[in-house]
Amino acid sequence: MDYHNKLILAPMVRVGTLPLRLLAAEYGADITYGEEIVDHKIVKCDRRINELLGSTDFVEKGTESVVFRTCDQEKDKVVFQIGTSDAVRALTAAQLVCNDVAAIDINMGCPKPFSLSGGMGAALLSKPELISDILTTLRRNLTLPVTCKIRLLKSPHDTVELARRIEKTGVHAIAVHGRHVLDRPRDPAKWSGIADVASALSIPVIANGDVFEYDDFQRIKSATGMFWHIPRLNLPNSCLGSSLQIVLVADKGASSVMAARGALWNPSIFSPEGKVHYEIMEKEYIRKCILWDNDIRSTKHTLRDMKSHYTSLEVPFWRAVVKAESTADVA
C-alpha cells in the first residue's frame, strides 16, 4: 500500500460499506476505508465465504448479522478501521481480517459519545502511552501496513508532538482531520493544522476536511504545503533595479487527500472528468446495494444523506423508504 498522491474515501459510520467503497473506486478512489468497526464486535465473528455473492463475510456468532463484507475486487485498496482501547484486543481483531484487506487503521478521531465512553476514537488523543502501545503492538505482529486517523489537539504544538510520537511507532501513514474534537461539520476545517503535521513528519500525511469537489484535492495539498522565503542574489546588472530577489519555494504538503461528506454526497467526486448527476449516483448505489445484499439500514441511511444534500426530502417518498424492508423495495 502506497500512501503518496492518493485520493481516498474516508471512513464513515454506517456509510462506508462495500457498495459505496466499490462505487468510489470505480470513479477513481485509490484507497477506500471501511466504516469503523469496534474490536469487541469483530472478534465475535466467523469468517465465511459467501459463494452466492462472491464475497467474504465476517458474521457475528449467534446472530447471523454481517459485520463486515468485502470482496476480491477491493482487496488491494480497502482499509479496515478498528475502534479500540486495548492493544491485545485490537491485534486479535486485526489478525482476523488481515488476509482480506490491504491495511489496518486505528480510529483516534471519532468524537461520538459512544466512542468516547468506551475510551475509543478521540478519547485516545489524551492517552499517548496507550496510543503507542496499540500501534506498536500492531506493527510488531502484522505484515500489513498500519495507520491511524487523528484530529487536531488544542494547540498546534500538541498536535505535532503527538504526531511525532505516533511516527516513532513505525506506522506507515497518519491521517489528520483538520478539526478539533469539539468542532462540528459546519465548522471550517483548519488546513493549517494539517500543514503543521505534514512539515514535521517524514511519513505520509493524509489530509481530511472540507473536500467537496475534485479540485479540492489539489487545493488542500497546496494549502498544507509550507512556503519558505529564500533570497537569491543576482550578479549586478545595470538593467536590474535590484540584485536581490526573493524566491518562494514550496516544501512538501499532505501526501494524500481523504474525502468524507463530499464522497458521500456524490462518489464521482474522485473523477477528474467531473461529478456525475446525483440521481445517476443514487441509482448506481442502489444497484450495488442489491448486488451485494447491503444491510437495509445502511442503505437507507446513506441514501438519505446522499439525497438531502441536493434536494429537500419529500415526505411521501421518505415515508415509503423508511417502511421499505429490503433494498429491492427501496429501488
| Cα-to-chain-centroid distance, residue 312 | 27
Q: Is 258 one of the annotated binding-site residues?
A: no
Cα 80 from Cα 275, distance rounded (Å): 27
* 229 appears as a binding residue in the annotation: no
Contact present, 39 and 91 (Cβ < 8 Å): no
Rounded Cα gap, residues 255 and 142, in angstroms: 24
Q: How far apart are CA 60 and CA 109, in angstroms?
A: 26
Burial of 242 (0-12, 13-18, 19+ CB in 10 A): exposed
Q: Is 245 annotated as a binding residue?
A: no
| Cα distance between residue 296 and residue 303, in whole Å | 11
Written as nine digits, the cell of 33 is 476505508
Per the CB < 8 A criterion, the answer to whether 5 and 106 are in contact is no
Q: Is 108 annotated as a binding residue?
A: no
Backbone dihedral angles phi then psi of residue 5, each to the nearest 5 degrees: 55, 50
Put the strands of the sheet holding 45-50 in their side by side order: 45-50, 55-60, 65-70
HEC string of 30-64 equals CEEECCCEEHHHHCCEEEEEECCCCEEEEEECCCC
4 annotated as ligand-binding: no
Alpha helices (H) along 98-250: 113-117, 128-141, 156-167, 191-200, 214-223
Q: Do residues 84 and 90 touch, judged by C-beta distance below 8 A?
A: yes
Catalytic residues: 110
Please check if 145 is assigned to a binding site: no
* Binding residue numbers: 11-13, 81, 149, 177
* Binding residue numbers for FMN: 11-13, 81, 149, 177
